[in-house]
Amino acid sequence: MTEERKTEDVRDELESDREPESGITVKKKRGGALSVLYVIIFIVMLALPAVTMPLFRADGSAEKRDLAEFPQIKTEDGSFNFAFTEGLDAYIADHIGFRSALVRANGVWQAALFGKSAEEDVIVGSDGWLFYTETKYDYMNVPTLSWRAVNNIARTLELMRDRAEASGASFTVAIVPNKNTVYGEHMPYNYFKAGEEGNLELLMRALGERGVTAADLTAAFRGADGVLYQKTDSHWDYRGALLGYRTIAEAAGCPHEEFEGLTFEPRADWSGDLAGMLYADGSATDVQYYPEHEFGYETVSHEKAPDAITLRTKNPNGSGSLVMYRDSFCNTMHVYFAESFAEAVFSRAYPYDTGLIDKYGADVCVLEIVERNIPNLAKRAPVMEAPRVVFSASAKHMDGVVICSEKKNGYIHIYGSVDPGYLGDSYRVYVMAETDGGQAVYEAFPVFESELLGSEAVGDNGFSAYFKEETWAGFDTVRIIAESDGGCYIGDPS
């Protein structure tokens, strides 16, 4: 065989594995098809959540927040909305298909593998325990309120007590401890005690100094047997609610049903609020202990849900009348009070309306609030006509007084601030009005109305007072008096 023949045979053999026109080997052609298939699958997976958006109904209830709405292209004045793309991004992030499943998967694997939370508002503790992030400073005993702000809250509650007692009702403050205040052993190791007193301890001390009755719920729960809060919810269960009810009723000194021997049925059907925030879809359930008791009270208000703004109950076998200013911890606790009182009103309205005490002829008045919300007491003054006082002290001039007003539900609401340089650790503030008959002085709440004054911070140099419209009509001018650390100052609005 000649060299020329050998060369031709090798060439023929190589070309037999190639396509006649493309010159691509069969093996390479198959690999290319598989690559194209992978690309198609990848693109479909990326597009599927967006394409299926109309098929999913977004619901923010599990996460305890409002989901973003589709943005408007134009603003109210007809100009282009330059924040449209930002709003569109937020809308897509909140409504994209399979969002709940993806959020849940992310929350589960981060908690399981790293003990970390995928939700900034939730802390992942040990043994499956979850906590509100906003409670971390309370747990660490780092006060977020100044001592003056604490004293302001105590004085506000003292004025509410005086108002209740003037109408023949007792007044009791009930501060419910945060879950990690009682079960702190489940908090992550990197959260540590930095001090001896947080907001709760400071406020309880200030209330004691003023003689305001306060139920010591923290001591009651720390001394109780068993776990009375839920692992994946921020609240107590019905057993904890019973202990809370007993502790508050005993502090108030009112007759009440003890529910001795009450038994509970455990059912794993409770949607924990913290689990809902972390896992988004609300599918995680916690154990709730339901009281095995035939309650005899009747809900007579238009709203029937436990978290209604106003919930009214009656029980012909109960005694006395109750007005309770409450928050979500009363969703499970109200059943015990409703059973014990002949008539009970549970109000979630904020600011607190002290007119309910007279409206329903209350014998007992309770203000229940969870520890983490203590700062709210420094932000909004109760709706209550400012009490008139006798005031005769001489006062020096002060600058920096800000006075604002608004009309609200038959009242004129006067609020504002004074220069903190005139104030010590505590103060009292008065509204002095010029009238046809001379002067009239009224005590205001030492409350800095943060929202109305356009501040996100909790202020400690404010005042807030309500006057009936007919009373306000007799005023010519008003001035503000601040009394603090033995000094007395008076100022006109700046």
pLDDT of 191 higher than 60: yes
pLDDT bin (cut points 50, 70, 90) of residue 440 is: very high
Q: What angle do CA 105, 108, 110 make, to 5 degrees?
A: 105
Name the residue range of residue 402's domain: 388-491
Residues 240 and 355 occupy one common structural domain: yes
Residues 147 and 279 occupy one common structural domain: yes
- Residue 104 within a domain: no
Residues 182 and 158 occupy one common structural domain: yes
Please tell me the predicted confidence (pLDDT) of residue 242: 98
How many domains does one find in the chain? 2
pLDDT digits (tens, 9 = 90+) for 146-165: 999 999 999 999 999 999 99
Residues 436 and 368 occupy one common structural domain: no
Residues 175 and 293 occupy one common structural domain: yes
- Residue 14 within a domain: no
- Residue 85 within a domain: no
pLDDT of 112 higher than 70: no
Please tell me the predicted confidence (pLDDT) of residue 392: 84
pLDDT of 227 higher than 50: yes
Ranges 23-32, 120-129, 414-423, most confident: 414-423
Please tell me the predicted confidence (pLDDT) of residue 249: 98
- Residue 17 within a domain: no
pLDDT digits (tens, 9 = 90+) for 274-326: 988 887 665 678 999 999 999 999 999 999 999 999 999 999 999 999 999 99
Query: Encoding tokens for residue 376?
Result: 């709210």
Residues 285 and 319 occupy one common structural domain: yes
- Residue 281 within a domain: yes
Please tell me the predicted confidence (pLDDT) of residue 94: 53
Q: What is the mean pLDDT of residues 201-227?
A: 98
Q: What is the mean pLDDT of residues 262-282?
A: 87
Last residue of a domain, one of 343, 378, 413: 378
- What is the percentage of the chain residues whose pLDDT exceeds 90? 69
pTM for the model stands at: 0.79
Please tell me the predicted confidence (pLDDT) of residue 119: 73
pLDDT digits (tens, 9 = 90+) for 44-86: 655 555 555 555 555 555 445 566 666 677 666 667 666 667 7
Last residue of a domain, one of 360, 378, 396: 378
Q: What is the mean pLDDT of residues 191-199?
A: 94
Please tell me the predicted confidence (pLDDT) of residue 92: 56
> Please, are residues 390 and 441 in contact by the beta-carbon 8 Å criterion?
yes
pLDDT digits (tens, 9 = 90+) for 317-361: 999 999 999 999 999 999 999 999 999 999 999 999 999 999 999
Residues 353 and 463 occupy one common structural domain: no
Residues 314 and 360 occupy one common structural domain: yes
Residues 359 and 402 occupy one common structural domain: no
Please tell me the predicted confidence (pLDDT) of residue 26: 47
pLDDT of 243 higher than 60: yes
- Residue 43 within a domain: no
**SS3 per residue for the chain:** CCHHHHHHHHHHHHHCCECCCCCCEHHHHHHHHHHHHHHHHHHHHHHHHHHCHHHCCCCCCCCCCCCCCCCCCECCCCCECCCHHHHHHHHHHHHCCCHHHHHHHHHHHHHHHHCCCCCCCEEECHHHCEEEHHHHHHHCCCCCCCHHHHHHHHHHHHHHHHHHHHCCCEEEEEEECCHHHHCHHHCCCCCCCCCCCCHHHHHHHHHHHHCCCEECHHHHHHCCCCCCECCCCCCECHHHHHHHHHHHHHHHCCCCCCCCCCCEEEEEEEECHHHHHHHCCCCCEEEEEEECCCCCCEECCCCCCCCCCEEEEECCCCCCEEEEECCCCHHHHHHHHHHHCCEEEEECCCCCECHHHHHCCCCEEEEEEEHHHHHHHHCCCCECECCEECCCCCCEECCCEEEEEEEECCEEEEEEECCHHHCCCCCEEEEEEEECCEEEEEEEECCCCCCCCCCCCCCCCEEEEEEEHHHHCCEEEEEEEEEECCEEEEECEC
- Residue 171 within a domain: yes
Q: What is the mean pLDDT of residues 130-137?
A: 96
pLDDT bin (cut points 50, 70, 90) of residue 433 is: very high
pLDDT bin (cut points 50, 70, 90) of residue 32 is: confident
Distance CA 185, CA 187 (A): 6
Residues 394 and 367 occupy one common structural domain: no
pLDDT digits (tens, 9 = 90+) for 366-410: 999 999 999 999 999 999 999 999 988 889 999 999 999 999 999
Distance CA 30, CA 75 (A): 55
Please tell me the predicted confidence (pLDDT) of residue 4: 52
Query: For the domain that residue 480 is a member of, what is the CATH number?
Result: 2.60.40
Q: What is the mean pLDDT of residues 258-267?
A: 97
Answer with the residue of higher pLDDT: 104 or 356.
356
Q: What is the mean pLDDT of residues 255-274?
A: 95
Residues 291 and 153 occupy one common structural domain: yes
Residues 393 and 371 occupy one common structural domain: no
Lowest average pLDDT, out of 30-34, 201-205, 274-278, 287-291, goes to: 30-34
- What is the percentage of the chain residues whose pLDDT exceeds 70? 78
Distance CA 402, CA 80 (A): 37
Q: What is the mean pLDDT of residues 429-441?
A: 91
- Residue 255 within a domain: yes
Looking at every residue in the chain, the average pLDDT score rounds to 86
Helix crossing, 199-210 with 147-166: angle to 10°?
50
Last residue of a domain, one of 328, 347, 378: 378
